[in-house]
Homo-oligomer: A and B are copies of this chain.
Amino acid sequence: MVRHNGQPAYLQIADDLRAQIRGGSLAPGAPLPSTTKLAEQYDASLSVVKLAVGVLRTEGLVIGQQGKGVFVRDAEEPPAAADSTSEVAELRAAVQDLSVRLAKVEEQLATSTTRRPGRSSR
């Protein structure tokens, strides 16, 4: 990996992939090249590619599915707010809502561990 700036390789790769996602070159739902391919493509070791993908994964930009691939996440919507006070209120409401929804999902996920979640009849 050629370092055209001072950044480490895995951040450069993460940056490039992020740019491709933002730029639409990698559409939501589309799979990234496999780690092997990316390693060849960027002329880097597998480790740095895995590190780069890990960064994007913790950022929530992509979702890795074991055995299948890494896919660009569908609903990645950065909310654009401007005002301060209203921003706080809005964020608080959003957080509250997300908390409730998340808790619900987590509960369902926890309770469905025993059965096969092939299709949650609904």
Contacts and interface: CB of A to CB of B under 8 A. Distances in A.
Given A84-B81, A110-B63, A98 B98 contact: yes
6 contacts: A63-B110, A81-B88, A95-B95, A98-B102, A102-B102, A115-B118
A101 to B, nearest CB: 6
Contacts of A111: 65-66
Given A60-B99, A65-B110, A94-B99, 9 more contacts: A57-B103, A63-B110, A65-B107, A65-B114, A71-B110, A80-B84, A83-B85, A84-B88, A101-B106
How many copies of this kind of chain does the complex include? 2
Interface of A: 51, 54-55, 57-60, 63-66, 68, 71, 73, 80-81, 83-85, 87-88, 91-92, 94-95, 98-103, 105-115, 117-119
A102 B101 contact: yes
Nearest to A29: B116
